[in-house]
Homo-oligomer: A and B are copies of this chain.
Amino acid sequence: MYLSYDRPIAAQPLAFHTSTVNSSLERPVGFGVIGVGLMGEFHAANLARRVDGAQLVGLADPQPGLAEAAAGRFGARLWTRDYQDLLSNPDVEAVVIAAPAHHHASTVVAAAQAGKAIFCEKPLANTLADADRAIEAVTHAGVPFQIGFQRRFDAGFRGARALVDTGKLGEIQLLRSLTRDPLLDEPERVTAGAIFLETLIHDFDVLRFLAGGAEPVEVYAHADALILPDWRSRGLLDTAAVMLRYTNGALATADASFQAVYGYDVRAEVFGTLGMANVGDVVGPSLVHHSRAGMTRSRPHWFIDVFREAYVAELVHFAAFVRGNAEADNTVGDARAALVLALAAARSVQTRRPVQVSDVTG
C-alpha cells in the first residue's frame, strides 16, 4: 500500500492499526521478576520495554549483584536477594518466576499466599505432589496464573491451533513434535530428568494443544546418553523419543536432543482427516546463497531468535489476563497435564514399559 508515512497511525487504513505500536490507557501491571538468570533477564527486558500494560517494578536473585545490575539496566526501582521483598511490596501485583525448576513450586506457593498474580516458567514442579501443592495454593488464593509454554503464543503454533479449532484439519489422527537444542555445553548442570521435565514438556504441551481436545492416555519412551556416553552412568539423558496414544485413538511421536549442531530446532505437525499443518520450519534472514554447492539458507541457533515475539506475546496476554481483559491460557491444568506426561515418560524409561497416564495421576 502506498502508506502515508507522514500521517499518524490513527489516520492510516484500519487494517494497519493493530499490528504496530499499541498502548493501553489502563494502569500497567506492576511486575516483579524472581530469578535473574537468562530467562529472568529476558522477561525483565520484555516487561520493561515491549509489554504494553506491564511495568517492571523489581527483581530478586540470591546471587549478589545480579538483581541490582538488571534493575539498573531496565530501570526497575527495586532489587533484592530475597524474593520475599518483592512479595511484600504492594506495587508488585504480579511475579514472573524464573528461578531454577526445583524452586518453582515453593515460590508459586509463596507468591499465591502473598496474593500475587503468577507467571511461572515451566515446569510448574518436578514432582506431581509439589505441583498439586502449588495448584492448591493458587486455587485457594484465587490469583491469576499462567505457565510459560510460550509456543502457544507463537504465530505458527497459534495458526496451527486455529486450523484445528475451526475444523480445517478434520479429526486429528497423527501428531509429531520435536525439540532439539543446539549445544549441550554444561552436562554437569543437567538433571537426570531434564529432557522430559524441561525440554519435552514443551512437546507434551504442544501435543495436547494441537490434539483437538483428545488427551493422551498412554506414554512410551526411550532415552539415552548418546551425545555424551560417558555420562550415561551418571544418569544423564540427552536424547529421547516418545510415543503417545490418545483417548480417541490418535497417535503421536516426539523426540528431543540436547545437541543439534545445525541450530535450534522446534517443530510440530498435526495431521487430520482434512489436512495437515506443519509448524517450525524457521529460517534465518531472507537470504538464499546460490553457488556451485547448491542453495543455502541459514537458520537460527538461539532460541530467542525463534520465539522472541512469542515471549513478548505471552506476557502481553498475561498482563491482559491480570487486568481481566483476556481469558486464562496456559492454566494450572495445562501445567499439570504436561508435567504428568513428562513424569510418565520418565517412568516408562525406567520400567521399559508403556505407562498409562492414569497410573501417574491416580
- Which residues of A approach B to under 8 Å, CB–CB? 1-9, 12-13, 15-16, 19-21, 23, 35-42, 45, 49-50, 61, 63, 66, 73, 98-101, 121, 154-156, 158-160, 163, 168, 171, 173-174, 176, 180-187, 189-190, 194, 198-199, 220, 222, 224, 226-227, 238-243, 245, 249-255, 257-263, 265, 271, 273-299, 301-305, 352-354
Contact = CB atoms under 8 A, between A and B. Distances in A.
Contact of A4 (B37, B241, B245, B294): B37
Given A7-B38, A222-B245, 5 more contacts: A1-B258, A2-B238, A224-B251, A241-B252, A279-B288
A289 B37 contact: no
Contacts of A293: 296
A286 B275 contact: no
Contacts of A227: 173, 273
A200 to B, nearest CB: 12
24 contacts: A1-B183, A3-B303, A6-B37, A9-B38, A20-B41, A21-B41, A21-B42, A21-B45, A21-B73, A49-B50, A156-B287, A159-B287, A160-B287, A174-B241, A174-B257, A222-B243, A227-B273, A243-B243, A253-B255, A262-B275, A279-B286, A279-B288, A283-B295, A295-B297
Given A38-B9, A50-B50, A290 B305 contact: no
Contacts of A194: 2
A287 B296 contact: no
Nearest to A294: B298
Q: Report which residue of A42, A176, A255, A287 has the largest number of chain B beta carbons within 10 angstroms of its beta carbon.
A: A287
A96 to B, nearest CB: 12
B12 A38 contact: yes
Nearest to A280: B286
Contacts of A249: 224, 226, 239
Given A176-B176, A302-B20, A6 B100 contact: yes
Contacts of A15: 183, 301
A12 B174 CA distance: 27
A345 to B, nearest CB: 12
Nearest to A45: B21
Contacts of A20: 38, 41-42, 302, 304
Nearest to A284: B155
Nearest to A171: B226
Tell which of A20, A168, A294 has the most Cβ of chain B within 10 Å: A294
Contacts of A156: 285-287
Contacts of A155: 284-287
Nearest to A218: B222
A241 B219 CA distance: 13
Nearest to A18: B302
Contact of A287 (B1, B19, B278, B286): B278
A294 B303 contact: no
Contact of A241 (B1, B243, B354): B243
A350 to B, nearest CB: 14
